[in-house]
A and B are shown apart, each in its own frame.
Chain A
């Protein structure tokens, strides 16, 4: 597997499959934080110690396979161009923090991009496993098996009473962060989401928008994840998160049908206008693109727009991020150039569907 494969497609191979409840849950992710027992954490360790860890992963896991996660690519972050780094961040295969540690950090990515193992991020090891749709329980089972496989060769920093010892006290215990990415346009339209977020927070879960330059949940895409990692088992954490997500799914579906009943024409108008904008715009900012994509995706889910595949939202949200646009053009671009290229790519992509 080479870097080029990861760079060429905005959408990861695993996203092509449709998971359960994928009209609302775009993806599920489980992340485990692990460390070597005898090496200081990346914030304090000497560079040569961290390079040893990086080399250990290259020697032991490059081109290896585990179950259907095949042919791991080993990529040292320092070997990447700045646009390549940005693209991998936009695909959520690596984190901005890993890029900050570029001198000693690396990543292993399976061919289907479902597994990525970040090396020398905040912790020595960050395992991430993605599943399409709503599949947290499946994700947990798989990530445990993967974790056991790594542990065959690695002595983890583990303590009977504190669990997996991590660099940050917010990760200690299970070292697990489980999250789902949800598309909640109807709850956002009716502003119900504003009342739900505080209630969800009370349950020890965090809700945040994941796209956008900071000030909003662009594309009505929200990430919900657990906050607590100590004192509850991984299964209990996942069960709690699942039950909240299930309720959100129900509320979103109800809100969608209520809007359709009460203001069907208005909703249709909004959806088709957005479709029109995406098909015709020559200059489009990321914010407007995200809102239109969200509306079009809703139109697909409601059966109004039939000729476009559901993946369009995930794919174009990633493809129209600044890093990807510049990768596509093989040069850095000004904001205005990006807005023009974004509009062009979206138009071309929609024409492919016709």
Chain B
């Protein structure tokens, strides 16, 4: 496959760009990728990283922020811990610290949706030690789901077992309400 930009060299970077829900396949060679800003570190990693600041910038346009309009007056979001501002974050495409995620929280969903195919919430691993109560809460949620299906299928003996497990787990200790953020 040849590069869609120069139509000379073979394409070596292949990815799907999703802008405003429109998917577009991009097939370019390294040289054009660098020239077009898809890629900045020649030897490294995923061109996606570099596309990102473009995507984030797009977000503010998509939100229809009129130039010089009242939005300009709004005080800019700034992280209390690392002092990263939202516009700086948009420019570099990187967070400054873990607290940035809280600081910019309300603006992040559209960005994550675009980068992660519509997803905004984590469904993977929980840290073994820090996770503490969270593991229990996830386990509890799973048991409750299981209980529901068992009752629906009228498997009451098994349901009773699960119910006992739930009770035991609930009695073990207080289950934290607001998560266990480090």
Give complex CA distance A212, B12 in Å.
Answer: 10
Residues of chain B from 106 to 158 with CB closer than 8 A to chain A in the complex: 108, 111-112, 115-131, 134
Q: For residue B137, which residue of chain A has the nearest CB?
A: A160
Give complex CA distance A208, B12 in Å.
Answer: 6
Known: A155-B130, A161-B121, A165-B95. A231 touches B116 (CB 8 A): yes
Residues of chain A from 161 to 186 with CB closer than 8 A to chain B in the complex: 161-170, 172-174, 176-177
Contact B43–A43 (Cβ < 8 Å): no
Q: For residue A230, which residue of chain B has the nearest CB?
A: B116
Give every chain A residue within 8 A of B49 (Cβ-Cβ).
168, 170
- Residue B36 interfacial (CB < 8 Å): no
Across chains A and B, the number of contacting residue pairs, with CB separation under 8 Å, is 192
- Residue B31 interfacial (CB < 8 Å): yes
Contact A215–B30 (Cβ < 8 Å): yes
Contact A157–B14 (Cβ < 8 Å): no
Chain A interface residue number, banded: 35 or more
From B29, B46, B123, A227 is in contact (CB under 8 Å) with B46
Give every chain B residue within 8 A of A234 (Cβ-Cβ).
124-125
Pick out which of these stretches binds chain B: A197-205, A252-260, A309-317. Answer: A197-205
Give every chain A residue within 8 A of B112 (Cβ-Cβ).
169, 172, 230
- Residue B45 interfacial (CB < 8 Å): yes
- Residue B84 interfacial (CB < 8 Å): yes
Give every chain A residue within 8 A of B182 (Cβ-Cβ).
37-38, 155-158
Contact A148–B128 (Cβ < 8 Å): yes
Contact B15–A168 (Cβ < 8 Å): no
Give every chain A residue within 8 A of B31 (Cβ-Cβ).
214-215
Give complex CA distance A194, B14 in Å.
Answer: 10
- Residue A264 interfacial (CB < 8 Å): no
Give every chain B residue within 8 A of A160 (Cβ-Cβ).
122, 134, 179-181
Give every chain B residue within 8 A of A232 (Cβ-Cβ).
119, 123-124
Interface string of B17-54 (1 = CB under 8 A from A): 00000010101011100100000011111101100100
Give every chain A residue within 8 A of B94 (Cβ-Cβ).
41, 43, 122, 167-169
Residues of chain A from 188 to 228 with CB closer than 8 A to chain B in the complex: 194, 197-198, 200-202, 204, 206-209, 212, 214-217, 225, 227-228
- Residue B175 interfacial (CB < 8 Å): no
Give every chain B residue within 8 A of A166 (Cβ-Cβ).
95
Give every chain B residue within 8 A of A201 (Cβ-Cβ).
14-16, 25
- Residue A40 interfacial (CB < 8 Å): yes
Give every chain A residue within 8 A of B84 (Cβ-Cβ).
44
Contact B44–A97 (Cβ < 8 Å): yes
Give complex CA distance A168, B40 in Å.
Answer: 15
Give every chain B residue within 8 A of A230 (Cβ-Cβ).
112, 115-116, 119-122
Contact A161–B122 (Cβ < 8 Å): yes
Give complex CA distance A201, B116 in Å.
Answer: 13
Q: For residue A160, which residue of chain B has the nearest CB?
A: B179
Give complex CA distance A177, B45 in Å.
Answer: 10
Of B29, B97, B98, B120, the most chain A CB neighbours within 10 A belong to: B98
From A95, A161, A164, A216, B12 is in contact (CB under 8 Å) with A216
Contact A174–B122 (Cβ < 8 Å): yes
Contact B95–A214 (Cβ < 8 Å): no
- Residue A35 interfacial (CB < 8 Å): yes
Known: A197-B14, A206-B14. A44 touches B127 (CB 8 A): no
Residues of chain A from 26 to 48 with CB closer than 8 A to chain B in the complex: 35, 37-41, 43-45
List residues of chain B with CB under 8 Å of any chain A CB. 1, 9-10, 12-16, 23, 25, 27, 29-31, 34, 41-46, 48-49, 52, 56, 81-82, 84, 92-98, 101, 108, 111-112, 115-131, 134, 179-182
The 9 A-B residue pairs whose C-beta atoms are closest, nearest first, are A231-B119, A163-B122, A214-B30, A157-B98, A194-B1, A230-B116, A40-B97, A37-B182, A174-B124
Name 14 A/B residue pairs within 8 A (Cβ), A-sorted. A162-B121, A165-B95, A197-B1, A200-B14, A201-B15, A201-B16, A202-B23, A206-B15, A217-B10, A217-B12, A227-B48, A231-B117, A231-B122, A232-B124
**Told that A144-B125, A201-B16 touch, could you supply 14 new A-B pairs with CB distance under 8 A?**
A37-B98, A96-B43, A147-B125, A151-B128, A151-B129, A174-B122, A198-B14, A200-B14, A206-B46, A216-B29, A217-B12, A228-B116, A232-B123, A233-B125
